[in-house]
């Protein structure tokens, strides 16, 4: 038996409409629980940080319901949020990180609560708290940072945790290590990000949180700039509304009134031609983004990886595959592996097989 097999790790993944909690015993997930939060429930909080005590109580209840009576947690790991750009890896939660997340210095996002909750649960128990591969992992090439407008720099904000985890799993299927391969990874979830992974580094990716890349179930993706300026002028006194058109109420939900791809697929099966046109357009945009990274990787591509909730749909993955399979083999890693990836990072930190990094702005 390895030392890590007897270790209990708590994983916390706060999302905009859910808190996902998991208890791991070594590499085995003992309990995985998703608490859904209605918009009404969250409306009483004026900020993401304001939801801390509410979500902390739910987390403490989960611990007392699931952790065996004679057992103790060895570490807590949370999904990392909007921080200063940083390199991939596992980070201990420190005071600069907490200050940045509590003040939303780099922006508001539900995952900002990951580190905050991890630390609050870990501190009284005298155990370490970590985050790993937050959405701000930044390994972009310098030329990828140019937008074409000196005042605007492209930034790396994407589903780093799941993209890297799916890429490692795909590399194992190809019989190689992640660091040996060039992969294009498309995370297809509520938001969509498509990254060019060159030997373990994501050298270009669309900003999934700010109107860049393909449209997704609830985000507009990149928009024609001139027309966006005209629209913004119409909405000049309603900034929140126009921002919602980009993230939250844009993309598929704006066309079809649902952010649930499964509901859209049911409508297609029932003969809804508008739903069909929108889902096909989303797949088309994803395929174009993937193909653009053929240039990023200079044509040397070992595999294209489709992951996230939408990758469970053969209808969508086939639409993408028919446009990109000329580039490289397409591998589907369905769903997201964020909880497992976080647990693996915490175990690696505890075993010292992964370097524990220190957050600095
Ligand atoms: N089995 C399935 N078949 C088709 N679509 C699915 C399936 N499961 C989930 N989806 C769709 O995937 C989308 C959500 O994906 P996912 O759960 O990866 O995203 P999320 O975690 O909510 O958001 P994000 O990935 O941006 O963090 C929804 O549109 C959902 O309908
Ligand atoms: C990249 C941001 C993660 C998300 O909210 O989709």
Closest by Cα among 81, 67, 79, 53 to 125: 67
DSSP assignment of 313-350, as one string?
-HHHHHHHHHHHTTTS-EEEEEB--HHHHHHHHHHHHH
The vertex-8 CA angle with 12 and 80, nearest 5°, equals 25
69 Cα to the center of ligand 1, angstroms: 35
Co-location of 257 and 346 in the same domain: no
Residue 145 included in any domain: no
| Residue among 287, 111, 88 nearest 168 (CA) | 88
* Average pLDDT taken over every residue of the chain: 95
Distance, CA of 9 to CA of 12 (rounded, Å)? 10
Which mutation among 190, 210, 212, 282 tests ligand 1's pocket best, with the greatest number of atoms within 8 A of CB? 190
- Cα–Cα dist 330/317, whole Å: 9
- Cα 240 to averaged position of ligand 1 atoms, centre (Å): 25
Pairing of strands 303-308, 330-334: parallel
Asked if 329 and 347 sit in the same domain, the reply is no
Q: How many CA atoms lie within 13 A of 42 on its CB side?
A: 18
Question: How far from the centroid of its chain's Cα atoms is residue 163's Cα?
Answer: 8
The alpha carbon of 306 and the centre of ligand 1 are apart by a number of angstroms equal to 12
Residue at 192 is within a domain: yes
Cβ–ligand 1 contact at 313 (below 6 Å): yes
Residue 144 belongs to some domain of the structure: no
- Give the model confidence (pLDDT) of 16-59 as tens digits: 788 999 999 999 999 999 998 887 788 899 889 999 999 999 99
203 and 328 belong to one structural domain: yes
Assess contact for 96 and 133: CB atoms under 8 A: no
Q: Is residue 147 part of a domain?
A: no
Supply 185's token pair.
């990874």
In the predicted structure, residue 3 carries a pLDDT above the cut 70:
no
Tell whether ligand 1 has an atom less than 6 A from the beta carbon of residue 309: yes
User: From atom 1 of ligand 2, which residue's Cα is the shortest distance away?
Assistant: 158
Give me the phi and psi of 187, to 5 degrees please. -90, 120
Non-local CB neighbours of 329 within 8 Å, separated by 6+ positions: 174, 302, 303, 304
Ligand 1 atom 28, closest CA = 260
Question: Is the domain of 343 the same as that of 328?
Answer: no
* CATH code at position 176: 3.30.420.40
Among 135, 310, 311, 333, the mutation site with the greatest number of ligand 1 atoms within 8 A of its Cβ is 310
Q: Ligand 2, atom 3: nearest CA belongs to which residue? A: 159
Q: Check whether residue 109 and residue 36 sit in a common domain.
A: yes
Strand ranges inside the chain, DSSP E: 8-14, 18-25, 28-36, 73-79, 90-92, 129-132, 146-149, 152-153, 182-188, 192-198, 201-205, 303-308, 330-334, 356-358
For the cut 70, the answer to whether the pLDDT of residue 2 exceeds it is: no
Contact 100, 107 (CB under 8 A): no
Closest ligand 1 atom to Cα of 264:
31
d(CA 313, CA 219): 19
What is the number of structural domains in the chain? 2
Q: Are residues 329 and 344 in the same domain?
A: no
Nearest ligand to the C-alpha atom of residue 193: 2
Question: Which residues have C-beta within 8 Å of that of residue 359, sequence separation ≥ 6?
Answer: 83, 84, 86, 91, 92, 93, 94, 96, 97
Distance of CA 172 from the midpoint of ligand 2 (Å):
25
Q: How far is CA 360 from CA 98, 102, 152, 335, 357, in A?
A: 11, 16, 24, 32, 9
Q: Please list every protein residue whose CB sits less than 6 Å from any atom of ligand 2.
A: 135, 157-159, 190-191, 193, 208-209
CB atoms closer than 10 angstroms to residue 13: 23
Do both 311 and 171 map to the same domain?
Answer: yes
Residues 78 and 62 in one domain: yes
**For position 89, what pLDDT does the model report?**
96
- Tell me, in angstroms, the distance from the centre of ligand 1 to residue 208's CA: 15
The predicted pLDDT at position 38 comes to 80
Atom of ligand 1 nearest to the CA of 336: 18
Q: What distance in Å separates the CA atoms of residue 157 and residue 136, rounded to the nearest whole number?
A: 5
Q: How confident is the model at residue 4 (pLDDT cuts 50, 70, 90)?
A: low
Q: What is the mean pLDDT of residues 209-230?
A: 97
Give yes or no: residues 250 and 218 share one domain.
yes
Kindly state whether residues 176 and 29 are assigned to the same domain: no
252 and 352 together in one domain: no
Using one digit for the tens of pLDDT, what is the confidence trace for 135-172? 999 999 999 999 999 999 999 999 999 999 999 999 99
Give the range of the structural domain holding residue 242, as residue numbers without chain letter: 160-334
Q: What is the ipTM of this complex?
A: 0.97
Same domain, 322 and 346: no
Ligand closest to CA 247: 2
């Amino acid at each position: 038996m390895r030392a890590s097999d007897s270790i209990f790790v708590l994983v916390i993944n706060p999302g905009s409409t859910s808190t996902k909690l998991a208890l791991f015993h070594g590499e085995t997930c003992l309990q995985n629980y998703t608490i859904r939060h209605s918009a009404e429930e969250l409306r009483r909080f004026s900020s993401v940080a304001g939801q801390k005590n509410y979500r902390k109580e739910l987390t403490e209840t989960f611990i007392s319901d699931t952790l065996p009576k004679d057992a103790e947690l060895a570490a807590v790991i949370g999904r990392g949020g909007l921080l200063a750009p940083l390199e991939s890896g596992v980070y201990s939660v420190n005071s600069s990180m907490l200050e940045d997340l509590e003040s939303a210095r780099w922006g508001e996002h539900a995952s900002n609560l990951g580190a905050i909750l991890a630390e609050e649960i870990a501190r009284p128990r005298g155990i370490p708290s970590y985050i790993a591969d937050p959405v701000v992992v930044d390994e972009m090439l310098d030329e990828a940072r140019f937008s074409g407008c000196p005042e605007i720099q492209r930034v790396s904000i994407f589903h780093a945790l799941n993209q890297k985890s799916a890429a490692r799993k795909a590399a194992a299927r190809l019989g190689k290590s992640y660091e040996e391969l060039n992969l294009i990874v498309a995370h297809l979830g509520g938001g969509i990000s498509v990254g060019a992974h060159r030997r373990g580094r994501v050298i270009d990716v669309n900003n999934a949180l700010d109107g860049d890349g393909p449209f997704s179930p609830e985000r507009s993706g990149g928009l024609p700039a001139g027309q966006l300026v005209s629209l913004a002028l119409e909405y000049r006194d309603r900034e929140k509304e126009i921002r919602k058109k980009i993230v939250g109420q844009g993309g598929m939900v704006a066309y079809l009134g649902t952010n649930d791809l499964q509901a859209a697929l049911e409508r297609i099966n029932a003969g809804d031609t508008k739903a069909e046109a929108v889902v096909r357009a989303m797949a088309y945009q994803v395929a174009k983004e993937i193909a653009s990274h053929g240039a990023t990787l200079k044509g040397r591509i070992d595999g294209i990886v489709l992951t996230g909730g939408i990758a469970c749909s053969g209808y969508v993955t086939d639409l993408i595959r028919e446009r990109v399979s000329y580039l490289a083999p397409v591998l589907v890693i369905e769903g997201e592996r964020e909880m497992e990836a976080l647990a693996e990072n915490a175990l690696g930190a505890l075993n010292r097989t992964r370097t524990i990094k220190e957050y600095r702005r």
